[in-house]
């Protein structure tokens, strides 16, 4: 029994000291080189070469040097700029989960590791938390692992934060961390058989292969090709599909939809304003042609140059129409404005067609025949403000 006990002690000691050489070098990083993630990443790259060693060095530095900000533990702000989430913990050496995760991920990326910040919620001792949480994922060689530098830095007890490195939250396999951490978007579970929110509540986090297979690797590759708004649309779909089980999920989903809607409205306004610019430019160009026609095409231009004078407004009007067609789901007031502009574009298009038909006939005539075609025409169109 004594031998077994001794071996157990040695095994535990070995596990505790597994990263001692990496940790020692990482924690020797001078404070003067910690004013930015670029400086920290430069130190990491200079001292470590493998993905695993880099991720360990980054994890231990963040977990050891950032204190959990008890006073602001409920102040998770997903709208805060990434730069601010990074600068705060570097300046104050304090932060909440979002600061830990964003700081870890940014150093990873600048050290040559692919990494993402993950947002979701957690469960401890059978109790599902009522505030959201953030952690990180990093690609180590060819596999995805999860890191929670917040939980890895210590623990809160009695309203106080106690610094104590917990390596259980370093380089965790996805099938293990899902027992306590579930992302809002199941893509970030990195599992082929994602756990639903209901299953997470019930503690049924083991892989259920009777479910439909989900290729998270292929989905992630496609996700990385999407625009930011396309990514949010895809994420919103997955969040809803996994079950809106609590207010945290509902709030996250609503915030995503709000960003999508704001983007749609912004694009609609920009499209409308751009269509107005095209419309005004078409009127200017048509009036320029009419003025040139009224002086009997003097000074002289070649036929192709004259033709271009009408080709440009024609292109402007077509582009304006195309932009209006892209505007969807507007309120009644905006719909009326769009309809009015569309009507104005049609009116100008009719006048442009008359000028184009006249010019086509003009080009078909002889020199003397052309002179007989000139007569005064009035300016057309009033630009929109």
Residues 145-194 pLDDT 10s: 999 999 999 998 888 999 999 999 999 999 999 999 999 999 999 999 99
pTM over 0.85: no
How many other β-carbons are positioned within 10 Å of the β-carbon of residue 257?
A: 15
The answer to whether position 230 is within a domain reads yes
Structural domain boundaries, residue 33: 23-261
182 and 205 assigned to the same domain: yes
**pLDDT in the model for residue 4:** 35
Average pLDDT of span 283-289: 96
256 and 280 assigned to the same domain: no
**pLDDT in the model for residue 16:** 54
**Domain end marker among 261, 288, 311:** 261
The answer to whether position 1 is within a domain reads no
Mean pLDDT of the chain: 91
Residues 70-116 pLDDT 10s: 888 777 776 788 899 999 999 999 999 999 999 999 999 999 999 99
The answer to whether position 204 is within a domain reads yes
**Domain end marker among 243, 261, 279:** 261
The answer to whether position 4 is within a domain reads no
> Quick one: pLDDT band at residue 378, thresholds 50, 70, 90?
confident
**pLDDT in the model for residue 256:** 96
The answer to whether position 82 is within a domain reads yes
The answer to whether position 72 is within a domain reads yes
pLDDT for residue 7 is more than 60: no
172 and 30 assigned to the same domain: yes
How far from the centroid of its chain's Cα atoms is residue 346's Cα? 38
User: Interior CA angle at 88 toward 87 and 94, to 5°?
Assistant: 135
83 and 177 assigned to the same domain: yes
46 and 112 assigned to the same domain: yes
**Domain end marker among 229, 261, 293:** 261
pLDDT for residue 9 is more than 70: no
Please count the structural domains in the chain.
2
253 and 283 assigned to the same domain: no
The answer to whether position 15 is within a domain reads no
How many other β-carbons are positioned within 10 Å of the β-carbon of residue 166?
A: 13
Q: How far is Cα 61 from Cα 37, in angstroms, rounded to an integer? A: 12
**pLDDT in the model for residue 270:** 96
The answer to whether position 12 is within a domain reads no
**pLDDT in the model for residue 17:** 64
């Amino acid at each position: 029994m004594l031998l077994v006990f001794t071996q157990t002690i040695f095994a535990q000691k070995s596990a505790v000291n597994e990263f001692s050489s990496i940790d020692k070098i990482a924690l020797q990083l001078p404070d003067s080189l910690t004013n930015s993630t670029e400086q920290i990443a430069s130190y990491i790259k200079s001292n470590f070469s493998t993905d695993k060693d880099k991720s360990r060095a980054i994890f231990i530095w963040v977990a050891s040097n950032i204190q959990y900000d008890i006073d602001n533990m409920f102040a998770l702000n997903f709208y805060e700029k990434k730069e601010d989430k990074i600068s705060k913990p570097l300046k104050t050496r304090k932060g909440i989960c979002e600061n830990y995760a964003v700081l870890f991920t940014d150093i990873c990326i600048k050290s040559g590791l692919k990494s993402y910040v993950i947002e979701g919620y957690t469960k401890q001792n059978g109790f599902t938390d009522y505030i959201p949480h953030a952690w990180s994922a990093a690609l180590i060689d060819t596999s995805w692992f999860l890191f929670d530098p917040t939980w890895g830095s210590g623990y809160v007890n009695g309203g106080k934060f106690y610094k104590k490195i917990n390596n259980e939250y370093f380089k965790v396999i996805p099938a293990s961390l899902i027992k306590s951490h579930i992302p809002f978007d199941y893509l970030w579970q990195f599992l082929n058989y994602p756990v639903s929110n209901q299953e997470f509540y019930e503690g049924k986090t083991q892989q259920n292969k009777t479910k439909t297979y989900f290729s998270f690797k292929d989905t992630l590759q496609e996700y990385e090709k999407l625009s930011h708004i396309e990514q949010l649309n895809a994420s919103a779909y997955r969040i809803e599909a996994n079950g809106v089980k609590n207010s945290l999920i509902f709030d996250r989903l609503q915030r995503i939809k709000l960003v999508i809607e704001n983007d749609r409205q912004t694009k609609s306004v920009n499209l409308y304003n751009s269509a107005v610019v095209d419309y005004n430019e078409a009127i200017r160009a048509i009036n320029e042609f009419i003025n040139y026609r009224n002086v009997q095409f003097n000074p002289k231009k070649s036929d192709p140059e004259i033709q271009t004078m009408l080709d440009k407004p024609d292109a402007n009007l077509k582009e304006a129409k195309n932009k209006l067609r892209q505007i969807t789901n507007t309120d009644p007031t905006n719909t009326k404005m769009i309809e009015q502009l569309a009507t104005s574009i049609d009116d100008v298009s009719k006048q442009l067609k008359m000028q184009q038909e006249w010019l086509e006939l003009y080009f078909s005539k002889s020199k003397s025949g052309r002179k007989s075609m000139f007569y005064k025409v009035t300016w057309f169109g009033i630009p929109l403000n």
